[in-house]
Structure 1
Amino acid sequence: MAGRQERREIALSFGGVASEYDRGRPGYPDELFDALERLWGRRLKGARVLDVGAGTGIATRLLAARGAEVVAVEPSDGMAAQFQDSSPTLPLVRGTGDDLPFHDASADLIGYAQAFHWTRPERSVPEAIRVLRPGGALATWWNVQDETVPWVRARGERLAAALPDRYHGYRGISGHTSHFAPAGLAVERAALRWERRITVEHLLTDLTSRSYLASLSPEERAPVLAVEREAALAEFPDGVVVEPFVLDLTVAVKPN
């Protein structure tokens, strides 16, 4: 298990692949935000939302499109710069979930898209509770590769063998949210299946943005990506990948 300093360095390594992150990472289907509103019991339109660990703004833009008054929160220099290039009209604040730079009771929703596992829950959960208004919610979601699909499972096995100290798969998401109920939050969960169609090169761009490869040098990444290119073309000879996901959503509501 990576130590605190090592985890911080891995998290900040995203800044070096911010362009690949913005181009390669999957977005989120409308059904995610429908489910979030249903579990929360409120609409996003007009809500004051903090998108913490916003990265390049993939979720921020979608939240804004739903009518939320959204503010991005991002610690990485590289990711923040890419955010400002990709989303110049949206507000960005530098900070982390462990130390939110916002007043008490100033937000309706705090969202973590692919980001809550980079926080320390013993700090980030009390911080969220402090900043949320009564009836507000903390929401976390992850696009989890669907390893019930054989080619996805095989890719995970290859990456685990090639990067035994770095690649740990996408299991155990619920463990990151186990602090919510003990903190007095009412927890609801949903899992949504969806897929995207992308090129093999797009798939490799996405892989390059993952922490287990982003924290390597380009020379170290190259042989891993070469193996994955060959495997993807063998599975999808027309060059079009159908990539399946299980979108894991947790919504934890603060009492009124």
Structure 2
Amino acid sequence: MPAVSRAHSFNAAAAQYAANRPSYPPALLDAIEEISGRPLAGARVADIGAGTGIATALLHERGADVIAVEPGEGMAVHFRRTLPHLPIVRGDGNALPLADDSRDLITYAQSWHWTDTGRSVPEALRVLRPGGALALWWNTTAYDVPWIAAQAERITAHCGTGSVPRRQPDDSLAARLAGLSDLPVTRRHVCWSRAVSLDTHLANITSHSAFLVLGEAGTRAFLAEERGRLGETFPDGTVEETYLVDLLVAAAP
């Protein structure tokens, strides 16, 4: 399945994405402020690949002057409906619709891997003010939690998305650093968790592109078996999801 098809698969599931995907902990924003050397309050920020606005809203709550950039129509429509007070423009990281030297911080929450870094890195540096920062982060799978690791193996087998990494986020670090080798990069891990209903957990995992391109029948088959397995692990119907946020902050010249 081409990457572009997987990237656009989210547009048809914007409401499911917004309702069930995890947010990010306050400690992540604290780390961004610490590493970038400036508070988010008053900072001019562009959140790229903003989706339904999960990260954009958090940045705004911290006092940032934030604009969202989103390529997908379905995601942008949902963003405008739920966050009408925040600005959003259509575009992507490979050709940012933003002026030169106009932002103190550019963020990518779960979206950097959809860009062509040969284009997105120069674009970020064009838009950033001297001394600005590029912050990239992902909620990654906590493979040290046994039930989460086992579920990841089942998802991989069912969706045919390749082998599951056996280590923590270091497995994909090389790909995430692609294009950033000429910039000073600081990395930080932030562990956090949330307790959600079994229905929310299942809706969360099936909002990922691997399931969105799999189709309804394949997804339904996985859910039928997975609901039974997790019902045994979490008999009260509450699932504790654990995440390790992998944060990379690159300093602009």
TM-score tier, shorter chain, comes to: over 0.9
Aligned equivalent of 2:104: 108
- 8 Å CA contact 1:166–1:212 kept in 2: the answer is no
CA distance in 2, matches of 1:74, 1:124: 14
Deviations 1:199-230 (A, max 9, x none): 00000110121010011222221111222211
Match for 1:228 among 226, 229, 232? 226
Aligned equivalent of 2:118: 122
CA distance in 1, matches of 2:57, 2:144: 30
* 1:1-256 equivalent positions in 2, closer than 5 A: 6-165=2-161, 171=169, 172-179=171-178, 181-183=180-182, 185-255=183-253
* AA at the equivalent of 2:50: A
Deviations 1:18-54 (A, max 9, x none): 1110011000110000001001111111111110000
Query: Root-mean-square deviation (CA), in Å?
Result: 1.5
Question: Aligned pair in 2 of structure 1 residues 192, 30: CA closer, same or farther (>3 Å)?
Answer: same
Deviations 1:166-221 (A, max 9, x none): 685685332233235433x2211100111000000000110121010011222221
* AA at the equivalent of 1:21: Y
- 8 Å CA contact 2:100–2:126 kept in 1: the answer is yes
* AA at the equivalent of 1:208: T
CA distance in 1, matches of 2:137, 2:41: 19
Q: Percent identity?
A: 46
CA distance in 2, matches of 1:147, 1:131: 36
* AA at the equivalent of 2:178: H
- 8 Å CA contact 1:180–1:252 kept in 2: the answer is no
CA distance in 2, matches of 1:165, 1:190: 27
CA distance in 1, matches of 2:81, 2:225: 32
Could you tell me which runs of 5 or more consecutive residues in structure 2 were left unpaired when the two chains were aligned: none
- 8 Å CA contact 2:231–2:237 kept in 1: the answer is yes
CA distance in 2, matches of 1:50, 1:247: 20
TM-score normalised by the chain length of structure 1? 0.94
Deviations 1:114-165 (A, max 9, x none): 0000101111111101110001000001111201000001001111111124
- 8 Å CA contact 2:194–2:242 kept in 1: the answer is yes
CA distance in 2, matches of 1:105, 1:47: 13
- 8 Å CA contact 2:118–2:179 kept in 1: the answer is no
CA distance in 2, matches of 1:117, 1:38: 24
- 8 Å CA contact 2:45–2:65 kept in 1: the answer is yes
Question: 3-state DSSP class of the match of 2:67?
Answer: strand
Deviations 1:49-93 (A, max 9, x none): 110000000000000000000001101111111111121111001
CA distance in 2, matches of 1:22, 1:166: 26
* AA at the equivalent of 1:239: G
* AA at the equivalent of 1:204: L
* AA at the equivalent of 2:72: S
TM-score normalised by the chain length of structure 2? 0.95
* AA at the equivalent of 1:238: D
